[in-house]
Chain A
Amino acid sequence: MAHGLSLYVERGSVLHRAHPLTKGVLTASAIALAFVLPSLGWVLGLLASLVALAAIAGVLRRLVPVALLVLLPIAVLLLLVQGYVNPANRTVFVGAGPVALYREGLAIAALAAARIACLVVATFLLSFTTRPADLAEALVQRGLSPRIGYVLQSALQIVPQTLEMAVRIQDAQRARGLETEGSLPRRARAYLPLLLPVVLSSLVATQERAMALEVRGFGRRVRRIARRTFPDSAAQGAIRWALALSVPVAIGLRVAGWR
């Protein structure tokens, strides 16, 4: 369970070189569009273009297995339950009598699953081509509060460390005879002895860290200078605006009766 938090894959593609915010806007607007677009055809079209972008970025072979791992269980659950009980169900698709899957429910589930597929692929496209720390830094440079920026950056570092510590504590407690396998009550009893040491040792360090930060002027309201900047261009700015505007436009079209 201990692994780094970043899914970033080192490549030299256009997407990797793009400004972190451009990719962030791309992901956010693709997710919003997936839920605004009216029909399965449109949503599958969006999904296809996201997959094409992943191919351009050279991360397709890494992305597909992870995405399927997330998607498949949900898609199966959706198709089964909606095909079985959706209130719109009229026409039997397979089966008969009380055990049947209906065409209407399956269609609704397929649309929902395609939308979730867009959400998953758009997100992984961002995480595979962007270092999370870069995204946080770019946001701070564009006006996010540096205090929040610190929280993001520091969480990205502390979380993997804490997960490693949890593994070490688990080994230590097992060596002392703690049962971590067996029946559910027995496993449940092991929860607190594993969690408490993690919590206490991570909380104890906070006061020192706060003092160390304050000594270095953390709370001061001064203009900050960026240690590194990300190359940006007018074209990318235009792309960001176009992507961001596509969402309200699509919503407007839907309201105006687009089916």
Chain B
Amino acid sequence: MSWYNAFRVRMNTLAIVLIPVCIAIDWAGHAIASTLKLPLFLDSIGTVLGALLAGPWVGALAGFITNLISFGTVDPIAAPYSIVSLLIGLAAGIGGFYAWQRRRLGWLALYLVVFLVASVGSTPLNIGLYQGQSGVPFGDAIYAALAKGGLPTWLAAYADEASVDLPDKLITVLVALVVYQGLPNRFRNLFTLYRRPVDDEGEQAAPLTPA
């Protein structure tokens, strides 16, 4: 069973209905973080949760449309980053297909994959849009220090973005996993068709990276 089988499952009505809910969770997660004045975005919890429940398509659409809506309302600059949100949804969905949420090592793998996709995906956009800055003052201070130290722009730009994503995606993935664990079994089982059909404990070790 290869990883691309995760993409073969067609979305049923329940999965479609789940997408707007995930988008709303993305928004609520971000809104609560801003009310509490937390220095993080936390705007892809719903994307990761949707991907864990119902696979890469739900995650990708939830991520993409979340950015599309914020693009049209509060934050026009979010538009190019909808590609990154889409990729986060796809990556987390592959993790969900392998049921990474059931194993401790899988939690780590999920975090690493989401972090890598987010930071590697955003860096070229930062270079194209902002000459490599991320627009977050803390990260941009790191950028200025590294670029002044003579590092190439792309490396300084990656460090800038990674310094923002490293804590942000950790909390995002952790919250999504905690919520997933807290969901009633009855609800989680509605989505079993989006998981790899294996012997229950899934002993055939899933690869760490979906490539």
Using CB atoms and an 8 Å cutoff, list the residues of chain A in contact with chain B. 1, 5-7, 31, 35, 70, 73-74, 77-78, 81-82, 84-87, 108-109, 112, 115-116, 119-120, 122-124, 126-127, 132, 147-148, 150-152, 154-159, 161-163, 165-166, 170, 180, 184, 187-188, 190-192, 194-196, 198-200, 202-207, 209-210, 213-214, 218-219
Q: How far is the CB of A127 from chain B (nearest CB, A)?
A: 5
A77 pairs with B140, CB closer than 8 A: yes
Instruction: Give Cα A112–Cα B13 distance, bound, in whole angstroms.
Output: 43
Tell me the residues in window 34-64 of chain B with beta carbons closer than 8 Å to chain A beta carbons: 34-39, 42, 45-46, 49, 61
Check B131 for interface membership: any CB of A closer than 8 A. yes
B29 pairs with A195, CB closer than 8 A: yes
B24 pairs with A123, CB closer than 8 A: no
A-side binding surface: helix, strand, loop or mixed? helix
B65 pairs with A210, CB closer than 8 A: no
Check B166 for interface membership: any CB of A closer than 8 A. no
Write 6 A-B pairs (CB below 8 A) sorted by A numbering: A78-B130, A82-B133, A124-B76, A163-B31, A200-B179, A206-B18
Residue of A nearest to B68 (CB): A152
**Contacts A112-B131, A207-B14 known; A5 to B187 CB distance under 8 Å?**
no
**Contacts A70-B77, A77-B140, A188-B36 known; A156 to B69 CB distance under 8 Å?**
yes
Could you say which residues of chain B place their CB within 8 Å of the CB of A170? 32, 35
Q: How far is the CB of B177 from chain A (nearest CB, A)?
A: 12
Q: How far is the CB of A92 from chain B (nearest CB, A)?
A: 15
**Contacts A151-B16, A202-B24 known; A77 to B45 CB distance under 8 Å?**
no
Interface centre among A147, A155, A219 (most CB of B within 10 A): A155
